[in-house]
Amino acid sequence: MKNMELYETHVKTVDLETAVRFYKSLGLELAYYLEDRRVAFFFLGNAEKKQQMLGVWEVNKHEFVRSHFAFKVTLEQLRSIPEFLHAKGIEISPSFGLDASEPVVHAWMPAACYYFSDPDGNSLEYLALLDQEPKTELGVLHLSEWEKTFQ
């Protein structure tokens, strides 16, 4: 079936209260909290439209498995991510052998990204799709290097 969108994804945590505080600090709106099931659901984007949802499930440390997902943002928003995360005490992670001084670009898409982790070590990403055509041969590079290829 074509033209689908991803509506909901889940991550696991070993401490639900800490995870809820973390995701709320990123601006996600807590939609529903089930104490007895140890799960919290957040709406992303326009919460009134209920366009996307993240579920955070508490598990014991033996069931915990790290996962990854990305938040889609504009390039303008992506450029403000370091200040936004730094203000919350969240470090941007080096990725693909490149330092975290600026976004990395996956040239095959192309998309510019910053990576970071939640308190459980789940890999999170802010991702901005770029308007240019893909340049697969470039692999992964810093945004400034990507931009030089178009000058």
Higher local confidence (pLDDT), 73 or 5: 73
What's the domain count of the chain? 2
**Gap between the Cα atoms of 92 and 74, Å rounded:** 18
Same domain (yes/no): 16, 58 = yes
The domain boundary residue, chosen from 65, 83, 101: 65
**Gap between the Cα atoms of 116 and 118, Å rounded:** 7
Task: Give the least confident one: 22-31, 38-47, 79-88.
Answer: 38-47
Q: Which two tokens stand for residue 117?
A: 């982790």
The domain boundary residue, chosen from 36, 65, 94: 65
Structural domain range at position 144: 66-151
Whole-model pTM: value is 0.93
**Residue 2: its pLDDT value, please?**
83
Secondary structure (3-state) at 102:
coil
**Gap between the Cα atoms of 105 and 102, Å rounded:** 10
**Residue 6: its pLDDT value, please?**
87
**Residue 151: its pLDDT value, please?**
81
Same domain (yes/no): 70, 21 = no
Q: pLDDT for 34-55, tens place per residue?
A: 999 999 999 988 878 888 999 9
Check if the beta carbon of residue 67 is closer than 8 Å to that of residue 122: yes
**Gap between the Cα atoms of 67 and 14, Å rounded:** 13
Asked if pLDDT for residue 61 goes beyond 80, the answer is yes
Tell how strand 39-44 and strand 52-58 pair up.
Answer: antiparallel
Same domain (yes/no): 105, 46 = no
Element of type H or E holding 70 = strand 68-72
